[in-house]
Amino acid sequence: MQEHGGNKKNIFYIVYHYWMKNSSKTVESSEHKMRTRAAYYGFKITPMTPERIKNWYEQPIRQPLNLDKKKTPKGQLYIIPNRCKECGFCWEYCPENVLSISNNFNNKGYRYPTIAEGKENACVNCSMCTEICPDFAIYTEEVKDA
Ligand code: SF4
Ligand code: SF4
């Protein structure tokens, strides 16, 4: 006796095996094509191994030659608590983690951003918070000669 839905299952397995067979063929043939083409142009393709990937990430980072002459900008933060609606964008997206949520509430009942502990001089004036705040409740100004 045939199992209920047996035909459907068989069709599924046939399609699945056909697809698997052909997809592996495609990968093999495209790899082969790549190697042949590389050999034609005088290159050698070395397969990526976990060891190679590890070394790749441990390579020294390229830096500009005049890096020592560059100064990191500094920003002065201004927060207008009563405009804030606690959406959290500014403290979530600040790349230097300068901001955190205050324990105090504004006159609309929302908690607003404050400078996180130990981050008093960490603002790099990137303007992310200024740009992202939907309520114009935060902005920065560059500190000259910082
Ligand atoms: S200007 Fe940039 S670094 Fe400074 S508080 Fe805003 S998001 Fe953070
Ligand atoms: S992005 Fe603006 S509205 Fe949102 S929490 Fe920060 S200051 Fe408040």
Looking at the predicted structure, is the pLDDT value of residue 138 above 50? yes
Where in the chain are the domains?
Answer: 6-57, 71-142
Which CATH number fits the domain 71-142, given the four candidates 3.10.129.10, 3.20.10.10, 3.30.300.180, 3.30.70.20? Answer: 3.30.70.20
Which residue is closest in CA terms to ligand 2's atom 2?
Answer: 133
Angle at the Cα of 114 from the Cα atoms of 113 and 118, rounded to 5 degrees: 140
The residue to mutate among 76, 112, 127, having the most atoms of ligand 1 within 8 angstroms of its beta carbon, is 127
Residue 21 identity: K
Q: Is 75 exposed, middle or buried (0-12, 13-18, 19+ CB in 10 A)?
A: buried
116 torsion bin: left (phi>0), alpha (psi -120 to 50), beta (else): beta
How far is ligand 1, taken at its centre, from the CA of residue 2, in Å?
69
Looking at the predicted structure, is the pLDDT value of residue 140 above 80? yes
Cβ–ligand 1 distance for 116 under 6 Å, the answer no
Which residue is closest in CA terms to ligand 1's atom 7?
Answer: 94
pLDDT band at 3 (very low <50, low <70, confident <90, very high): very low
- The secondary structure element, H or E, covering residue 22 is helix 6-40
Q: Which of 126, 124, 97 is nearest to 113 (CA)?
A: 97
Q: Which residues line ligand 2 (CB under 6 A)?
A: 84-90, 112-113, 132-135, 137-138
How far is ligand 2, taken at its centre, from the CA of residue 6, in Å?
59
In angstroms, rounded to a whole number, what is the distance separating the alpha carbons of residues 124 and 73? 5
Residue 32 identity: H
Summarize pLDDT for 50-105 with one digit per residue, the tens: 888 888 778 777 888 888 888 899 999 999 999 999 999 999 999 999 999 999 99
Q: What is the pLDDT of residue 27?
A: 57
**Distance between start and end Cα atoms, the chain:** 86
The residue to mutate among 124, 127, 142, having the most atoms of ligand 1 within 8 angstroms of its beta carbon, is 124
